[in-house]
Structure 1
Amino acid sequence: MKRKAGDQPVLAVSAIAARRRAQQNATVSARSSVSKPISASEGEPPLKRSKPSLADDLPSYPAVKSKIEVVIRNPKRQSNRSQSTIAASIEEQTRSTDDDKSGILVEDDGGVTSSESSDEIEVSGRENYENFLLSKGAISNKDVLYKTNDTICIRLREKTTITVLGQYDLWIKRGVVSIFGAKLPPSTQIYRVYAPSTHSLPVIKTVAGVDGYAEIEISSCRNGLPYLRHVSDLYRRIWSGKQASSGNSLTTSSGRSFSIVKNQNFLHSSSEDPFKRHLRPLHFDKQWSMAIKALSSRGAQLRVMTCGPKGSGKSTFNKYLVNHLLSQIPPQNDKASSSDGVAYIDLDPGQPEFSPPGEVYLAHLRRPVLGPSFSHPVLVSPDDGSIVKSHHIGATSPKYDPNHYVLCVMDLLNRYRVLLQSYPLCPVVINYPGWIFGQGLEIATWFIRSLDLSDVVYMSVQGPEEVIFPLREAASEAGVPVTALPSQPTEYATRSSAQLRSMQVLSYFHVLQNDANIPFWSDLPIQHHRTMSVSYSGENPGIFGIMVTGFHHEPDRLQDLLDGSLVGVVAVEDSDALPKSSDTATATVDTHHHKYAANRSDPDQDAPMNDADSAIASSSPHPLITQVPHTNLPYLFIGSGTCHPLDPASSYSLGLALVRSIDIQSQTIHLITPIPPKSLHSALARGHRIILVRGNLDNPNWALSEQYFAARAAQRKVRERRAEVKAESDDSELLREYEDKIRRSAERSDEGRAVDDRGQAGSEEAKAEKREVMEGNETWTGWRV
């Protein structure tokens, strides 16, 4: 029986398995009955024989449920070659899962549901699954000192290692424990650890104990980060979850935010994960450990730059080194003091550690970093550290404007020298991007010669020779030793670089900064976030100008370039630093040329409108700023051809913003940004001018799909609650009352989440404080929060 063309296709696993069995039975029948006539289709040559379709359904052979997750996006495009490849790769799995009735495991609000609720399920098979030993030594019941619904306190023997999945607060009560390169002594300090499955899991190890034991307490934390799965599938199935079956349960019914298996034993191996993810512990090569100890011994004299190919482990090595420097017990020979912190200069705009993509910055770190980059897109607490200065590159690679990139790096080095005046024992770690070929190699060798480094670390022992030889030659000229370490690429990466970048910027826009200096994430779709209305014309505009860098463009299309895009919010310390004479004539001629071309292409525009535009342009606040026709947007153009970026010596970046809309009638731009209002007010109060920079950052596709994922999450939640009510009672009247209650609760939630452009959210005291700030300083009138 064949399916019609309009019917839905069956699972590829079921169809292939059924077809294979049918062919095997047909072969056995042919051998046992030689006199059986051969059909016409069997007598055809192999190339002309009609091949069975994936949609064939053989009712005599039941479908086999498999633990392999399959995506069928367009069955008509599945080639015969791909069919044979899939069949060969899953043959062993289909035989071993005949009696399996569990289906596909998909995390859903901390639980496991059917795969039918997910639109995108990736192909994953056991043939690519590798089991990693996550913990060394079992934790018995007598090692558990006490436990609650959210907390567990255990004793660890010396040299015992455990690995915990999820997010948790770690308190060292006795002994010394190491995690991610940081050696943590007993204290009242709480360390928050983020351990998702997208990265290698940090290992907790007892370094020294009292009577051979260390005592630690692990507690659940609720900060909203796991709930970002409600607005993006990139955050699904990366934290701890619970399995509905009674097997090796990762969590108890208490719903801890970290993963503990049955009988209080921690994850012993990755095979105990019910989702069969590629969990792997964070283990370092012995050469890495020796190099980190040698570098740490330099103390305050350490000025190291780490470079290497993409995906070689530069960020992991730098994080391990920073944690080791921040937790030296005691400081070695008084060469460095953890109280002075560590300076971290991140020169990788594609994968930054403490900022959104498109930025290079100088950070002053005070506490160990125990999580991936999307767990700290900004430094919220001053106790953790702060961003000393940041520059907006406007792209994920410095290759688009190497000259501006070099100027930004030199300015950050100058700011580090200023930082040394207040913290003389502060070492610096420099993270160079994976751009080490061509012009990127030339810039790296120039940095080695001119930055007065103490060490250079190259994350590869396999070359290539055309890269390592110029680096060693430049280091030899500068008298700087070069250490080549083996790279540790991830073989089972579950997220690509572009996906991790999307997770980083999504986390950046959803993080909430509060007076308690504790990061918290909101799972509201981006369109429900607070909007800032900024005037761009009038007596006191909030925006001095708008720049477009990195590509050629037409100024009359400025509104189209801005609407729905990511822009950098840059503050200029002194508007007089902008060029006035050398490039003004060229910029004016080019601008009027574009305006003239726009006027000729618009038959509805008449001469009086041109006169008005000329009057507006002549009254602009700066010779390089002209108003775009129709919109009056302040267009800032420097140089010729493409627009030159701002001078890093007189400007700095405040962060990113998403342009929600442009209101031409009121001459305002509506921005969504996590930049604290006090930061904007501080910049304006000092007389700094705000400029929006439109660069070459990735399109915010994540923002367009958040409402869709939020609606799916709400539907799943309603179905779960309805199922719970049905399981508890069959009373239809009670069910209707419960559904009405859910509906009213959802309506109240929508009313609370629907924040208008005036920012009517938060307490009355907070809103009164914001009004006082806006009314107390005239320079703040251009911004309405």
Structure 2
Amino acid sequence: MSKRTSDSKVKAPLSALAARRLRQQQLAAQAEPPNPNPNGDSPVITPGLEAVPVIPSKGTPNAGSSTPLKSRSPSAIPPKETSDTVSQPPDANIDIPRQLSNFVQTEENYIYNAQTPETTVKLRRGESLVIQGEYRISVIGGSISICGAILEASASLDIVAPSSQALPVIECAPKSKKRKVDKIASKDGEYDAIFSLQSTQSGLNDIGRICPRFDRVWKPPLTSTVVKSKASESFTPILTATQPTPILTIPPSWQPAITTLASTKQCPKSIFIVGGKSVGKSTFGRYLLNTLITNSQLPTIAYLDLDPGQPSFTPPCILSLHKITSPIVAPSFAAFRSTEVVRQHHVGYISPREDPKYYLRCAADLMREYRRLVEQGEKLTLIVNTCGWIKGMGRELLQELVAVCEPTDVVGLGEVDGVFAEILPDEKGVKRHLLEAVGTGAVVGNTGGNQQFTPADLRMLQTIAYFHSQRKVGGDATFSFDFEKHLTAVPPLVAAYKGPTRVIGGITILDTGITPDLVFTALNATIVAIKLVRKDDREHPVLRYLEDVYGENGVVTPYIPANRFDGTSGMLPAEGTVTAGLAIVRGVDEANGELQLLTPVHEDEFNKWLEDGYRILLCRGRDEIPVYLVWDWRDGRAGQKGRRGTGSFGGAEKMPYLDFVVGGEVAGKGAKEWKVRRNIMRRGQQRR
């Protein structure tokens, strides 16, 4: 059996539409000659040559006795040009090495201590350093800034920086009236900041074991120059890269607005962020969050995430309220449990357009929880992140959310003048901050190229990481990730839904009118939300319905039909209901009345909920389950045609939900194109 690497030809199952598009793209590629240089970059180096070293600018200090840099590009000796040599045209397939860091490594400013082990880095003002990977940064002297966070001497922070998102930049913190900046003397000169780097291992760098799509997000670009360091370290400082490698920068108009919003003159604030898709709402919110925590007198920030499609701290399809006490420099899939989740609601969709009324009810319930915290004496500035739906009904939803959240400041990114005019009441005196989007000036990832992953890819990444997260054994409640075993090899939790040992007290399915005998057919191999309702909450509509219909005998399946409750699509009412996590229904044993659940929630937590008087309910929404969670691509039996001379797909019969791509062809039910009927038209509109 041949080995598979991260770049193997293993393909995920395709739908019929995707298969048709794939064939069309293949035919188009054969018909058209490839563009040797789509970006139109002028030639500087040829692929196969050593990367051109960075030439320091006038503001860059002298490198001194520099340490050799490691090059990730293949090395070769360029041919000498003669009179017969044909020079490369300007549009040849050659790319320019783009500078990510202007830090110049020497033996004095980058020191590795094998005994600690840690690396000491010294920066002068104007220098920057981009590091990919996982690491802990600790400030020894001076102060540094990273992703809006200002870290002073003795402060430390864990960083998670894969290439799935723009890489953060480490710089000396800007001067201010509050911050005294002193030069740090050293035998090779004076420095403005000294910090140490230590490797950290959360397990996230093994995510490629489960999903090869994300195998390279922890590795530097193949054509790049990096700072020389130990190969065993979990991070790599990158100096230049030929491949598009986005780094995190912000438009010029953002910093003054962030400074104004971080002021404590009016506290606590309620800051509402508005904008279309891909304009930088989450990036702005993260910068503002880190600035508020580290550069003001507000030790705790409340973060209300109302974007179910791309949430910042939870899996998709969830709205949530968080309390945050430390800066966060990590992508959304790596930020699970890095905050205190005050309350969350599973809405079942990645967009509010499917059930806007239920979406608003969940948002209102989260705001009531925030106000309860404020009434108890907590001074919490609130950041509200919204989704990118700003047209049509989306604009009406924003107007409702403004009424619910009552913001003191509204930040608009991109072309939102018309949105402001409709959603903001003039008499309330709400401060307006109109800023440019990340794509209209200095952009996030301005080193060239589009983002490598789509929003759907990032949702898949969030879901995979969530189901492989686990609590560490130790004094503090920290979490790690385990990708050593595939979920299909993990023993599931067995939860009874009927009988004297019943754990699951109710089941509902979003927006589906089915009979009770088909409930488990609809539940099998899907993601469900784990919801809690207190048993002593006698007025809760779910408990009243279950008691009226099923009583306490626990003999039959406690099924709650869709659309049972007013204003929802089969979802449980937000008021009085708590979302505790997500689970995958691995299997159903109807004979014994048991469900097999795969979930990062520990069985002790289930038992504690029951002891504390909660009723556990399962709610199936429209969460997308990544194919890599139900298919172990490392299993050589899956998707290989003709293995052992059988002439069939070995092992594929064990995965009845999946089809495979073999030799460029789709096998199974998805191999053929679907035939659709013509739209219904009046007789006069039909072609004769």
Q: Is the 8 A contact 1:270 1:280 kept in 2?
A: no
Q: Is the 8 A contact 1:171 1:218 kept in 2?
A: yes
Deviates more, 1:74-83 or 1:216-225: 74-83
CA drift at 1:353:
1.2
Cα distance change on mapping 1:139 and 1:476 into 2, 3 Å: farther
Matched, 1:256 2:241: no
- Counterpart selection for 1:684 from 610, 613, 618: 610
Partner secondary structure for residue 650 of structure 1:
coil
Name the amino acid aligned to 2:580: L
Cα distance change on mapping 1:440 and 1:374 into 2, 3 Å: same
Match of 1:671?
Answer: 597
Q: Is the 8 A contact 1:234 1:503 kept in 2?
A: no
Match of 1:756?
Answer: none
Partner secondary structure for residue 340 of structure 2:
strand
CA distance, structure 2, for counterparts of residue 77 and residue 432 of structure 1: 36
- Counterpart selection for 2:577 from 633, 651, 654: 651
Give the gaps of 5 or more residues in structure 1. Answer: 1-70, 103-110, 114-124, 261-266, 585-620, 716-785
Name the amino acid aligned to 1:498: A
Higher relative contact order (CA 8 A, sep 6+): 2
Partner secondary structure for residue 301 of structure 1:
coil
CA distance, structure 1, for counterparts of residue 112 and residue 101 of structure 2: 21
Partner secondary structure for residue 273 of structure 2:
strand
Matched, 1:414 2:368: yes
1:268-417 to structure 2, matched below 5 A, reads 268-271=239-242, 276=243, 278-298=244-264, 300-328=267-295, 331=296, 336-338=297-299, 341-376=300-335, 378-379=336-337, 384-417=338-371
CA drift at 1:513:
0.9
Match of 1:119?
Answer: none
- Counterpart selection for 2:438 from 482, 485, 488: 488
Q: Is the 8 A contact 1:475 1:481 kept in 2?
A: no
Match of 2:505?
Answer: 544
Q: Is the 8 A contact 1:346 1:353 kept in 2?
A: yes
Name the amino acid aligned to 2:399: T
Percent identity between the two aligned chains? 25
Q: Is the 8 A contact 2:530 2:579 kept in 1?
A: yes
- Counterpart selection for 2:139 from 157, 172, 177: 172
Name the amino acid aligned to 1:429: I
Cα distance change on mapping 1:356 and 1:625 into 2, 3 Å: farther
- Counterpart selection for 2:468 from 510, 518, 533: 510
Q: Is the 8 A contact 2:44 2:95 kept in 1?
A: no
CA distance, structure 2, for counterparts of residue 652 and residue 127 of structure 1: 56
CA distance, structure 2, for counterparts of residue 405 and residue 712 of structure 1: 43
Match of 1:564?
Answer: 525
CA distance, structure 1, for counterparts of residue 463 and residue 550 of structure 2: 30
Match of 1:14?
Answer: none
CA drift at 1:83:
3.2
Matched, 1:83 2:19: no
Partner secondary structure for residue 649 of structure 1:
coil
Match of 1:238?
Answer: 217
CA distance, structure 1, for counterparts of residue 609 and residue 100 of structure 2: 48
Q: Is the 8 A contact 1:152 1:217 kept in 2?
A: yes
CA distance, structure 1, for counterparts of residue 621 and residue 253 of structure 2: 40
1:80-229 to structure 2, matched below 5 A, reads 83-86=31-34, 100=48, 131-148=97-114, 151-187=118-154, 189-207=155-173, 208-211=181-184, 212-229=191-208
CA drift at 1:711:
5.6
CA drift at 1:647:
2.1
Name the amino acid aligned to 2:409: D
Cα distance change on mapping 1:248 and 1:410 into 2, 3 Å: closer
Match of 1:458?
Answer: 412
Q: Is the 8 A contact 1:305 1:430 kept in 2?
A: yes
Cα distance change on mapping 1:133 and 1:701 into 2, 3 Å: same
CA drift at 1:148:
2.9
CA distance, structure 1, for counterparts of residue 455 and residue 618 of structure 2: 26
Match of 1:527?
Answer: 488
CA drift at 1:466:
4.6
CA distance, structure 1, for counterparts of residue 408 and residue 46 of structure 2: 62
* Cα-to-partner distance string for 1:633-657 (whole Å, 9 max, x where unaligned): 3211264598542222211100100
CA distance, structure 2, for counterparts of residue 645 and residue 540 of structure 1: 26
* Cα-to-partner distance string for 1:682-716 (whole Å, 9 max, x where unaligned): 322221111100111113322123x1136699x9x
* Cα-to-partner distance string for 1:244-269 (whole Å, 9 max, x where unaligned): x9x94666563221114xxxxxx222
CA drift at 1:394:
1.0
Match of 2:662?
Answer: none
Question: Which of 1 and 2 has greater Rg?
Answer: 1
Match of 1:709?
Answer: 634
CA drift at 1:283:
1.2
CA distance, structure 1, for counterparts of residue 276 and residue 282 of structure 2: 11
* Cα-to-partner distance string for 1:126-158 (whole Å, 9 max, x where unaligned): 969675432234232221344339531121112
Q: Is the 8 A contact 2:303 2:382 kept in 1?
A: yes
TM-score after normalising by structure 2: 0.73
Cα distance change on mapping 1:431 and 1:99 into 2, 3 Å: closer
Cα distance change on mapping 1:643 and 1:130 into 2, 3 Å: same
Q: Is the 8 A contact 1:132 1:280 kept in 2?
A: no
- Counterpart selection for 2:455 from 489, 497, 503: 497
Name the amino acid aligned to 1:646: L
CA distance, structure 2, for counterparts of residue 389 and residue 653 of structure 1: 8
* Cα-to-partner distance string for 1:303-361 (whole Å, 9 max, x where unaligned): 00101101111001000100001102xx4xxxx431xx100010111111111111111
Cα distance change on mapping 1:320 and 1:80 into 2, 3 Å: closer
CA drift at 1:291:
0.6
Name the amino acid aligned to 1:352: P
> What is the aligned residue count?
553
Q: Is the 8 A contact 2:45 2:95 kept in 1?
A: no
* Cα-to-partner distance string for 1:141-197 (whole Å, 9 max, x where unaligned): 22134433953112111232111111111111111111110101111x531111111
CA drift at 1:76:
9.3
Q: Is the 8 A contact 2:227 2:239 kept in 1?
A: no
CA drift at 1:670:
0.5
Give the gaps of 5 or more residues in structure 2. Answer: 1-18, 51-71, 75-90, 174-180, 185-190, 641-688
Cα distance change on mapping 1:712 and 1:369 into 2, 3 Å: farther
Match of 1:469?
Answer: 421
Name the amino acid aligned to 1:487: A
Instruction: Please give the root-mean-square deviation of Cα atoms over the aligned residues, in Å.
Output: 3.6
Q: Is the 8 A contact 1:250 1:259 kept in 2?
A: yes
Matched, 1:449 2:411: no
Q: Is the 8 A contact 2:506 2:618 kept in 1?
A: yes
Name the amino acid aligned to 1:222: Q
CA distance, structure 1, for counterparts of residue 381 and residue 24 of structure 2: 59
Partner secondary structure for residue 337 of structure 1:
coil
TM-score after normalising by structure 1: 0.65
- Counterpart selection for 2:548 from 614, 623, 636: 623
CA drift at 1:88:
5.8
